């Protein structure tokens, strides 16, 4: 299980103390969870905290917190962002256990050029992230969906995403994540004809004829700080 070690300095509560913490380039944090006897008010050095949130795991990185010599595993639950400076001004962290099932939000990234696009259609990603349930060691950095074989009319729903072992989707409604639409002004007959042409092209084309299209990374990240 990948973790990032961070040192937490305990602090007194109160606005005056919080301002002093921020002035010293630390982020005020509140740590809570079932495994703790009581909440812990502390602070983490800003640069180290931001760096931890920008690993491949993003906000889902497991934090190994050193609190006065005691190790506490935790994940970021809520980040409060300054409305103008866009830097982190407060963080709520949840203490977790290695065998505990967590519900976390994971980004979804599509890859490949679909048969529907070759036929003149387009691919639209409805959801940029999904919620999953898993143990800390199994939290994926992202869910990658290959749309190469998808044709016009296909809808890839939450339940159909390729989840890694030990990871289960969490949803109230099995909504579509990625859809393959027909081209603008294209009739059903043209869809079928184009789909057949795309299928034929797919068998004859060389492997490098359809370069992968990486989706632009989601710009809104509550935990992202200006460099």
Q: How does pLDDT run along the chain (227 residues), one tens digit per residue?
A: 889 999 999 887 777 788 889 999 999 999 999 889 899 999 999 999 999 999 989 889 999 999 999 999 999 999 999 899 889 999 999 999 999 999 999 999 999 999 999 999 999 999 999 999 999 999 999 999 999 999 999 999 999 999 999 999 999 999 999 999 987 655 555 445 544 544 444 443 333 333 333 333 444 444 444 44
The string of DSSP codes covering 58-87 is: GGGPEEEEEETTEEEEEEEEEEEE-TTT--
Q: Enumerate the domain spans of the chain.
A: 3-98, 104-209
104-209: CATH class: mainly beta
Q: Does domain 3-98 have CATH number 2.40.240.10?
A: yes
Supply 128's token pair: 């940029």
Question: From edge to edge, which strands make up the β-sheet containing 155-157?
Answer: 122-125, 176-181, 155-157
| DSSP type of residue 112 | S
Continuous segment of H or E residues that includes residue 197: helix 188-204
Torsion-angle region of 137 (φ positive above 0: left; ψ -120 to 50: alpha; else: beta): alpha
Predicted model pTM: 0.71
Residue 159 CA: distances (Å) to CA of 5, 100, 135, 156, 171: 34, 22, 19, 8, 9
């Amino acid at each position: 299980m990948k973790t990032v070690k961070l040192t937490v300095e305990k602090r007194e509560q109160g606005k005056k103390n919080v301002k002093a913490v921020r002035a010293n380039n630390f982020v005020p944090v509140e740590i809570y969870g079932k495994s703790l006897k009581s909440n812990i008010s502390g602070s983490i050095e800003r640069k180290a905290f931001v760096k931890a949130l920008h690993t491949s795991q993003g906000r889902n990185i497991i934090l190994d917190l050193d609190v006065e010599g005691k190790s506490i595993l935790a994940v970021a639950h809520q980040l409060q962002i300054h409305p103008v400076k866009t830097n982190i001004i407060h963080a709520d962290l949840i203490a977790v256990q290695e065998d505990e099932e967590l519900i976390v939000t994971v980004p979804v990234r599509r890859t490949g050029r679909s048969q529907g696009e070759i036929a003149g259609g387009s691919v639209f990603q409805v959801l940029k992230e999904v919620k999953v349930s898993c143990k800390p060691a199994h939290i994926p950095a992202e869910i990658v969906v290959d749309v190469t074989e998808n044709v016009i009319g296909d809808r890839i729903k939450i339940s159909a995403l390729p989840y890694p072992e030990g990871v289960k989707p969490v949803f109230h409604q099995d909504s579509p994540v990625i859809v393959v639409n027909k081209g603008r002004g294209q009739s059903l007959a043209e869809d079928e004809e184009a789909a057949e042409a795309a299928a034929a092209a797919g068998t004859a084309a060389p492997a490098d004829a359809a370069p992968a299209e990486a989706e632009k990374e989601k710009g809104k990240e509550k935990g992202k700080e200006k460099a």
